[in-house]
Amino acid sequence: MKALTIWRRAALFALAGALLGLAGCNTVAGFGQDMSDAGHAIKKAAD
């Protein structure tokens, strides 16, 4: 019974880590897009 509890905890931590990793990738990608848009706006304003 104790081994099943350990496997459940391991699976829970793996799932939580995967979800946090995906959320982090989306955040970084969104930040990059925002910086790109800001760069385009600055370039357009300078023209």
What per-residue confidence (pLDDT) applies to 15? 92
Pseudo-torsion of CA 19, 24, 25, 27, nearest 10°?
Answer: 130
What per-residue confidence (pLDDT) applies to 26? 74
In angstroms and rounded to an integer, the radius of gyration of the C-alpha atoms of the chain is: 20
Distance CA 24, CA 18 (A): 10
What per-residue confidence (pLDDT) applies to 28? 76
Q: Which two tokens stand for residue 23?
A: 């959320």
Q: Write out pLDDT tens, residues 5-42.
A: 888 999 999 999 888 877 777 777 788 888 899 999 98
Residue 1 pLDDT class (50, 70, 90 cuts): low
Q: Which two tokens stand for residue 34?
A: 């925002």
For the chain, what are the domain ranges?
20-47
> Cα–Cα distances in Å, from 25 out to 6, 42, 44?
29, 26, 29
